Amino acid sequence: MAGKIVADQIEHSTAGSLDTKFVVNGSAKAWVHFSTHDNPPNLDGSFGVSTLTDNSSEVEVNLTTAMSDLFFCPVAGGGGSANAPNSNPSNRSLAVCVESTTKVDSEVYTTANTFSTCQCHIAVLGDLA
C-alpha cells in the first residue's frame, strides 16, 4: 500500500528565508553546464554557481554557497568536439578537483594528454557550510 501526504503548504524557513541545506540534504548542492569551445566559457545552465573563471586550459567553477569543508565531492562528465559538440565523448577526459570550499577546478585532456575542449557537466555533492 502506498502512502499519501496531502497538505496545503509545506515550509521550512530560517528568519523568513528558505534554508536549502535542510531542504536539499543528500542532493547536489550545485551543478553547471558549460562548453570549453566558448572563449570564455559561459554558464549555459547552472544552480548554485556564481561564475566561471577561465584560466587558459582550466576552468574554475565558483560556488555561490560555501561547502562545510574541503571533503565534498565534485563529479563531472563531458564530451563533444569543437566541430561536433553533440558527438561521442571518447578520447577525452574531464577531471575536477576541489580548490577551496567555494571553488572547483576542471581540466579537459585527450588520451594523448593534450588540452582539449568539450561540453562540461559538473555537479557538487556534500554538506553546505
What residue ranges do the domains of the chain occupy?
24-125
Percentage of the chain modeled with pLDDT above 90: 44
φ, ψ dihedrals at 8, nearest 5°: -80, -30
Write down how long the chain is: 129
4/7 Cα distance (integer angstroms): 10
For residue 19, the model assigns a pLDDT of: 54
For residue 109, the model assigns a pLDDT of: 84
For residue 80, the model assigns a pLDDT of: 74
pLDDT of 97 above 80: yes
Section 110-128 average pLDDT: 86
For residue 23, the model assigns a pLDDT of: 44
Nearest to 65 by CA among 100, 41, 107, 94: 100
